[in-house]
Amino acid sequence: MADEDQQRGNKAKRHGMLKMYYGIEEDQIGGASLDPCDINGAHFKADTYLARLIKEKSLTELMDEESKTLTQIKALDSDMQTLVYENYNKFISATDTIRKMKNDFRKMEDEMDHLATNMSSITEFSANISSTLQDRRQQITKLSGVHSLLKKLQFLFELPARLKKCIEMQAYSQAVRYYSKAKRILHQYQHMPSFQGISEDCNKIIQELCQLLRQQFKNNESTPKQLAECVDLLLQLDEPAEVLCEEFLSHARQKIDKEDLMVLDRQIRLQCGEELKIEGESPAQAYLGVAPMDILEFVDSGCNGFLSNICLVIAFYNDTFLNKHQEDDNTDAMALKKLVFFVNELMEKYFNYVKKRVQLEKETGDNTILVRALDRFHRRLQAMNKLLPDTDFSRAGTEIVSRAAKDRVGHYLQTLRQNFADCLTDIRQNLAAPRLVGKQDSSAQLSDLLHSTQSTILEQIKSVLGNLQAFTASDITFAMKPYFRGPFCTHDVREGLIVGFLNHINSVCEEFCEGTGDRGSVPPALLLILSRLCLDFEGSTISYLLTLTEEQFLLEEHPSHPLTPVTDLCNKAKDTAQRLLNHYVKVQGLSISQMLRKSVETRDWLNTIEPRNVRAVMKRVIEDITAIDIQVGQLYEEGCRKERSSDSSRRTHPHSYSVSQNKKPGQWNYAPSIDNSLMSNIQKLFSEKIEIFSTVEFSKVSVLTGIVKISLKTFMECVRLRTFGRYGLQQIQVDTNYLQLYLWRFVSDENLVQVLLDEIVGSTVHRCLDAVLMEQSVIDLICERG
């Protein structure tokens, strides 16, 4: 019975170890279900479970449960076999390990026994030594302290000699270290005569050392590292920190002014054309001071010279005055304030030199060198901000970069304006150039001049935009900054350059319409070309240029930088084109009107002979209008006309202007005259009003109609101011009939010409003393012969 209890206990122990190995918690087992039907529980009873299944399940469900149970049994068997195989290998490995451990422990027991024997022997020897030296231990300790004190006294007595030797060898740091080591002791025992003499000698030597350090400190040939070392030694010798700060920064300022800023100043003066005389300098300094540098070399010189040296000064200053006095807040604040003032003062000078040099960069070619120089300048300033966090030089640097970019945009705008002025000059020269006999008229070249001007303007703008893209390249540091890119692309390039140039073209064209000063003698053909140019700009060019700009510079509209709408620019260009075309019609109409006015005013219409021919001035009018028609046709389309009558070449005067054939010469029939005037006024009431100076449409017919209206209106007003005889009236008949034969071809509505010419003849009849009209057949014969 006892054996069975022992076996049961061993089994429970083994189960516990297995549960511990597999991580099975006791509380989980204890907290398991007490349901006898829980197949996974500890209190599972097969008979109860089976009876419950038979009672609750159908035959089909029992068969499914059987197959499910068989599947689970097979899976558990497989898992158990796998577990046995894995643990079998572990058990074998554990058995081997235990066997090796037994062998090792046997050897270790022998070594521990041997070690215990040695330790007991050592303990015995130590006890013997202690008992032997116990009487002399206090004496040895006392002698050791005396020896140490004598060494210190020997160091103190030898200190003046040591300090002199260090000064002779220029080992100033070693001398300061010796003195700092003994200074507290000498100060503590200075009341003793022996130490008082040593202290006085050391103080004299240290004063001499301070003078040597100050001389080296004031030496212009000293490097910043040597200066920092001198300052550090003087601070260790209790020199005033504020005075040393001022002297250090003053010396650094003199060196930077003389070696770095002077070179930049000379380069500025060289670029301005001054001649420099340099004496007493090394060849390298003379070369740097006299040889002209481009903008990239200038910036490199400033970065490698001025900025590098000022960074060294800041670093040494921080290590010397700031990082070594953290316990004294007042000293740190004073030193930092002096450093910030020193750096700001020198950086302001440097920024002024860079501004002047960038402003002198007037080359209109590739901007790559300028942009690379500005990028290098901007990068170096950002590095300085990390060295001196209390200052922000990147803002001032960005302003210089932005100003340089704005200046370049302004320069390119001026270039585009000059190019446009050159294009206008070329057009004038081509229009004024003499033509060879037999060649096509000058008006035939208007389309070529227009296309040449358009292509020149577009190519110049594209070239300028390509050059300005260097400021927005992806490898440029400041180009990625929103505070530069946004204003530059939006305000400078789009608004300042493109929109500004388009507004300039409009303003120049509008000046031609003023007709005052130098603009008063504008060739009419130039007005016509500019009108078509502005109209083409309104149609496609403006949209193309703005779209090109937005694509190349990735423009994004911002509330602080509103963009000028495309529709506003197009409307302004169209208005300018309209004004130019109206002015062209006015100029050409007045030119023909001048001929007609002189032909009327210089002739004696009372005593003229019977007309036999058309006057030459009428032929000249037709020739000029024909030339204008060809000229306008080069640039504008035909336009719409009203349907003309079947016999436009025939002339039929109203009945109101007919006179009695039986009337005697020299006699007036007043009653018919009153009737004729009344009939004329009645006809005018029902006829459409003709507006002479109306807005001209962008077509050839509309332009010619406007010119013809102005010419005929002038002709009519001149006739109303003259008095005519019989043959004068008949000459007007012949001239107006001749004009009718040709002018209807140029106007949009032939009735307009008919009405104006009828009014001219009617006005002549009213101003005629002997109103006898010529037969229409005779008029036709004269006009055909003329």
Q: What is the pLDDT of residues 447-493, one digit of tens each?
A: 888 899 999 999 999 998 888 888 888 888 887 787 888 888 888 88
| Angle at the Cα of 105 from the Cα atoms of 101 and 106, rounded to 5 degrees | 120
The 8-class DSSP code of residue 558 comes to: B
pTM for the model: 0.66
CA distance 491 to 477: 20
519 or 142, which is more confident? 142
Structure tokens at 332: 């740190």
The predicted-structure confidence for 674-691, as pLDDT tens digits, reads as follows: 345 544 554 554 445 556
Tell me the mean pLDDT in the region 399-423: 89
616 or 176, which is more confident? 616
> Where is average pLDDT lowest: 72-86, 343-357, 412-426, 677-691?
677-691
The 8-class DSSP code of residue 668 comes to: -
Backbone Cα Rg of the chain: 57
Residue 666 confidence (pLDDT): 33
516 has pLDDT over 70: no
Give the DSSP H or E segment for 477: none
| Amino acid present at 368 | T
Give the model's confidence band at 634: pLDDT under 50 very low, under 70 low, under 90 confident, else very high: confident
The secondary structure of 253-297, three-state, reads HHHHHHHHHHHHHHHHHHHCCCCCCCCCCCHHHHHHHHCCCCHHH
Tell me the mean pLDDT in the region 735-749: 85
- Cα–chain center distance at 439: 52
Bridge partners (DSSP) of residue 724 are 768
Mean of the per-residue pLDDT values of the chain: 77
Q: Which residues contact 174 (CB under 8 A, 6 or more apart)?
A: 166
Give the model's confidence band at 667: pLDDT under 50 very low, under 70 low, under 90 confident, else very high: very low
CA distance 430 to 443: 10
Residue 689 confidence (pLDDT): 53
53, exposed or middle or buried, with CB in 10 Å at 0-12, 13-18, 19+?
middle
The answer for 41, left when phi > 0, alpha when psi is -120 to 50, beta otherwise, is beta
Bridge partners (DSSP) of residue 558 are 561
Backbone angles phi, psi at 698, to 5 degrees: -85, 70
| Angle at the Cα of 741 from the Cα atoms of 740 and 747, rounded to 5 degrees | 60
Q: How far, in Å, are 35, 60, 71, 246, 452 from residue 53 at the CA level?
A: 14, 12, 18, 102, 104
